[in-house]
């Protein structure tokens, strides 16, 4: 991959992914780019930012979802379920269990 810098603007000049990967690139701002590489369910995200007079890069390898695994819940979903939970079978403190 080749990046191009023109003052405080950053762009992707060239991308040559390895066999089997496709890519998309976009400017998130004038000084930040993102390139996403995909191969089936594998995803790699490359970011580059101009910070001061330097180009800082990072790469994130996103794990593929596992078939049949539950998706992670957001904090809001956990909070909603706590209030919507069916309370049948729950005992109040001090209540005797007949078992």
Residues 15-68 have pLDDT tens digits of 999 999 999 999 999 999 999 999 988 999 999 999 998 999 999 998 777 777
Q: Give a yes or no: residue 8 inside a domain.
A: yes
34 and 25 Cβ atoms separated by less than 8 Å = yes
Residue 98 lies in a domain: no
E strands, 15-98, are 22-29, 32-39, 42-51, 54-62
* Structural domain contains residue 9: yes
In this structure, is residue 21 part of a structural domain? Answer: yes
Q: Please state whether the predicted TM-score (pTM) of the whole model is above 0.95.
A: no
- Residue 78 domain flag: no
88 located within any domain: no
Q: How far apart (Å, rounded) are the C-alpha atoms in residues 48 and 11?
A: 9
Q: Does the residue 69 lie in any domain?
A: no
Question: How many domains does one find in the chain?
Answer: 1
Cβ–Cβ contacts within 10 Å for residue 35, how many? 19
Q: How confident is the model at residue 87 (pLDDT cuts 50, 70, 90)?
A: very low
**55 assigned to some structural domain:** yes
Tell which residue, 17, 53, 22, 51, has the closest CA to residue 39.
22
Structural domain that includes position 18: 2-63
User: What is residue 36's DSSP assignment?
Assistant: E
- Provide the H-helix boundaries in the chain: 75-84
């Amino acid at each position: 991959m080749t990046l191009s810098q023109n003052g405080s603007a950053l762009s992707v000049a060239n991308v040559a992914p390895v066999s089997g990967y496709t890519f998309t690139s976009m400017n998130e701002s004038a000084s930040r780019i993102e390139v996403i590489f995909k191969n089936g369910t594998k995803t790699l995200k490359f970011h580059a930012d101009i910070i001061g007079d330097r180009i800082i890069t990072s790469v994130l390898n996103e794990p593929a979802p596992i078939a049949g695994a539950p998706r992670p819940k957001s904090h809001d979903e956990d909070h909603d379920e706590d209030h919507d939970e069916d309370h049948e079978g729950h005992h109040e403190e001090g209540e005797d269990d007949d078992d």
